[in-house]
A and B are shown apart, each in its own frame.
Chain A
Amino acid sequence: MSFFRGLTAQWVERYRKMSIQMVLSLSFTAVAAVGILLMGVSLIWRFSTASQQLVAENSQRVLAQANLNLDSYLRRMMRIADTAYYRVIKNSDLAEDSLTGPLSLLYEANRDDLVSLAVFDSQGALVSAVPLSSLKPEVNLVKTDWFQAASRSMENLHFSTPHVQNIFADPDYSYRWVVSLSHHVQLTRDGVTESGVLLVDMSFSGIEQVCRDVSLANGGYLYLIDKDGELIYHPRQQLIYAGLLEENNQAAAAYRDGSHVEEFQGQSRQVTVKTVGYTGWKLVGVAPAASWPASSPQPLLFGLSLLLFAIFLMAFLNFLISARISDPIRRLEKSIKELESGQADVEIAEGGCYEIQHLSRSVRSMVSTMRHLMDDIIQQEGQKRRSELEVLQSQINPHFLYNTLDSVIWMTESGQQEEAIQMVTSLARLFRIALSRGKSVIPLCDELEHARHYMNIQQIRYKNKFSTQIQAQPGVEDLYTLKLIVQPLLENAIYHGMASAEDDGLIQVSAYRQGDDLIIDVEDNGLGMRPEVAASLLDADRPQVRTSGSGIGVRNVHQRIRLTFGTEYGLTIFSEPDEGTLVRIRLPALTREEADRRQQGEVL
């Protein structure tokens, strides 16, 4: 039980691992093979039955013909007996006439079929005989079967089984096999009738010839038995007499006319029986099962070949059809697998029958929806991130504000009214541009203005330890840029580049157009840094380090630009120790209209 359970589980497991095409093709092939096999078995069975019937019909036909010939032969013998009786014996008075002359004539006319003709009285004494005329001295006819049969049943003709005729004294001692026909006759002697027996010895060769020429198809044969099953003729009679062969003749004697199947000596065979009229003999046709067409390996192998070819053809067609059916499903599965592996722009295969097309369309629709949702999420996430960065950026470092206001107080107290006014004005201007009425994209001139004011404040605070040059290529100032992207770089240049400067520090901001891009370079001649350090500044995985500047990091600027315009834009840092640092901002060169559209898109 557990074995079958295990087997079932194994098959279920295999089934799960199979492709749909394999399942379809194997299932169809298995069903087709079973169907074809059942059909084949049915056909073979029908063929076997039909061939058995055919053999039986053939045997019956042959036996009917043999019966006709044998009957004709026996009737001829009976006519001879009748002739001898009615034309010779009945017309003769033994006291006056001899039967020998007429019997000799009759014998000569039929000598090919006859061995002897003889008439005996009721005591078995010879009345007349041809061609041999004397009996062996020791013979006692009354004890012979044929004599007794004729004496017992007077109306009938009696046929013996084959035997060697031994009653006549034959100087040649030619022992001949005969079948004796005996008949009770009325002899007339001196006008008085008495009983007698007419003996007609038929040559066995006559019967043999009738039967020998008859053959059944494919190794079948025919034999003749009397009503008790005693062999009269058999094609291998001598082998049976020699004890080298056996025949099922006793069983055949019990069969009725028709065809029967019997087992004899371990072999199946079909036996057809036909009773020969009058004598009660039986013609038996034997067709060994091995001789039946259905038993021959040739038609069976041919049938098997046809079956196998049909299964092969069915399997081939099934594989083709299943491939055609399953191909769209396989392509759909492949597309989904590509999707699963993260490939973008995967084309969902669509084909096959209605259901698969519908499925493909549904998957395509689902993928499209998913993509939109994902885009929305990405956009929302970007927007959120950008907002966060902008919020961070818009926050003024309290230290910066405190220091600035502290400087204003200090300057006011020390009577530096002009400088104090200038600082407060720059601070106010700084805030105005930073707010920009909530816009994230502002004209480059405003951004550069914002940078100037920021640098004004810082220069006052740092007592002009460094100088600042801010310039823009003609026409570039009308272009638009993200707001507050230059100031963090200036803050970075001041805190890291100008910290150790002594009145010779220089920070240059230059904006220019390069193709479709707007470039803003922020360059200082400060301490600089190693290129690998410069490269790592923009690394997204680098831990967030809050600078001591305005609190807005270079990396935030970089991320804001990339989130807003794409990864091809952003910052590039060039730096060498003791030579200074150049931070290059790359932006798309936005016109007013483009900036407005972008602003509207963000709002929406």
Chain B
Amino acid sequence: MRERKSTLIEITLLGLLGGLALLSLVGPQLFRDRAAPQLLSLSVLLRDTDSSGWTVARQGMEQAADEFGAELRFLTLSTYGDSDEQTELCLREIDGGARALVVVPADPSALHTALLPCKTPVVTLESDMEGADGTAAPDNILLGQQLAQALLEDWDGGTVLLLDIDPSCAGVADRIQAAQAALEEQGVPTRRASSLDWPPQERWVMAFDPLVTQQTAEQKEAGALSFALYGVGSSTTITALLERGTISALAAWNDYAAGYLAVRQAVQAVRGEGQTLSPLTFSILRGEDIYAPDNQKLLFPVTS
């Protein structure tokens, strides 16, 4: 009886040791399999007709894609701000196997309604969207308020023209709304315009979208007009316009960080690790501030 018990203990011990040795041999293979996750397919949909205005953001996206194991598809619209086309593209990308979308929404509410049946994570840039897994954008209301504050520092009377070219874009609309409120609170008369009556009658013009800012500034330069322009954006062209004094003040944020954070958030949402994105920091710059060390880092991405 005792012999049988001893034999049983010995066999159990040997089996246990053998099993552990075998498990430790098989273990590395399991680790190896787990260590090589597949690349996630992400689609980036802009509301512009080309991605030239998003070059820096794209660099940030590609950096994040490289770090977090994703591959990106960049898509632009055939018509600027065409919400229907963007929605159609989003649905097509989801059907095509996109694991997540990074969208600069032309119309956040329309896009939200269209994507409601889909479970694909969506991260937005510029404008917040209901149901989105995150938004990589500055605090649009604060941005509008501070840009208005910059205008107020220079204001010496007259109506301020608020360019509201694309009212469906929620982020831009928030900025306008906040700026208008801030200005009117200080007794500054404002006027909204969905298109620029050229030349404008007002001495003060505010643009809240990088493209509109650039176009307005270029038109101002071309027409040698003297109105003061306040806008947003951080592209090289806009920076040059700021430096030349065409733009009086600029609300700028780091596009590289916006792109990077958007893709990182999308990947994490797919993997169920999503975190809340904090609003991006932004700065109100004037021409003389451009070459401050921190602003150099903000405005001019270090690229070869």
Contact = CB atoms under 8 A, between A and B. Distances in A.
Interface string B264-304: 00000000000000000100000000110100111111111
Nearest to B59: A238
B13 A315 contact: yes
A312 B21 contact: yes
The 4 closest A-B pairs by CB, nearest first: A173-B240, A241-B297, A242-B257, A305-B24
Contacts of A177: 300, 302
A583 to B, nearest CB: 52
B291 A298 contact: no
A319 B24 CA distance: 23
Given A242-B254, A312-B18, A298 B296 contact: no
Q: Which of B18, B24, B244, B299 is packed against the most chain A CB atoms within 10 Å? A: B24
Contacts of A311: 17
Given A297-B31, A301-B31, A204 B17 contact: no
Given A163-B293, A308-B20, A315-B17, A243 B31 contact: no
Contact of A164 (B21, B256, B296, B303): B296
B42 to A, nearest CB: 18
Contacts of A305: 21, 24-25, 27
Contact of A308 (B17, B240, B299): B17
A297 B34 CA distance: 12
A79 interface: no
A298 B28 contact: yes
A209 B304 contact: yes
Given A21-B6, A312-B18, A312-B21, A175 B300 contact: yes
Interface residues of B, number: 44
Interface string A120-138: 0000000000000000000
Interface string A561-601: 00000000000000000000000000000000000000000
B260 A164 contact: no
Interface in A145-186: 162-164, 166, 173-175, 177
Interface residues of A, number: 42
Nearest to B25: A305
The residue in B59, B244, B298, B302 that gathers the most chain A C-beta atoms within 10 A of its C-beta is B302
A25 B24 CA distance: 24
B289 to A, nearest CB: 12
Nearest to A205: B304
B2 interface: yes
A241 B281 CA distance: 13
Contacts of B31: 297-298, 301
Interface of A: 17-19, 21-22, 25, 29, 162-164, 166, 173-175, 177, 204-205, 208-209, 212, 236-239, 241-244, 297-298, 301-302, 304-305, 308-309, 311-312, 315-316, 319, 330
Nearest to A237: B302
A25 B11 CA distance: 12
Interface string B225-269: 000000000001101100110000000001011001100000000
30 contacts: A17-B2, A19-B6, A166-B291, A174-B236, A175-B239, A175-B299, A175-B300, A177-B300, A204-B304, A208-B302, A237-B302, A238-B256, A238-B301, A238-B303, A239-B256, A241-B297, A241-B298, A244-B261, A297-B27, A297-B31, A301-B27, A301-B28, A301-B31, A302-B24, A302-B28, A304-B24, A308-B20, A309-B21, A312-B14, A312-B21
B76 interface: no
Nearest to A299: B28
A319 B304 contact: no
B123 to A, nearest CB: 16
Nearest to A167: B291
Contact of A316 (B6, B14, B28, B59): B14
Nearest to B243: A173
B6 A22 contact: yes
A312 B302 contact: no
B204 to A, nearest CB: 25
B105 interface: no
Nearest to B9: A22
Contact of B257 (A17, A174, A244): A244
Contacts of A298: 28, 31-32
Contacts of A204: 302, 304
Contacts of B237: 173
A177 B27 CA distance: 49
A332 to B, nearest CB: 14
B63 interface: yes
Interface in B20-68: 20-21, 24-25, 27-28, 31-32, 59-60, 63
Given A302-B28, A304-B24, A239 B260 contact: yes
Contacts of B185: none
Contacts of B59: 238
Contacts of A309: 21
Nearest to A302: B28
B6 A241 contact: no
Contacts of B244: 173
A308 B21 contact: yes
B10 interface: yes
Contact of A243 (B60, B281, B303): B281
B197 interface: no
B257 A163 contact: no
B3 A330 contact: yes
A178 to B, nearest CB: 11
Contacts of B303: 238
A162 B298 CA distance: 14
Contacts of A163: 291, 293, 296
Interface string B131-167: 0000000000000000000000000000000000000
Contacts of B302: 162, 177, 204, 208, 237-238, 241
A315 B11 CA distance: 10
A324 to B, nearest CB: 14
B40 to A, nearest CB: 20
A398 B281 CA distance: 140
Nearest to A308: B21
A82 to B, nearest CB: 27
B70 to A, nearest CB: 16
B79 to A, nearest CB: 30
A22 B296 CA distance: 77
B54 to A, nearest CB: 15
A553 to B, nearest CB: 50
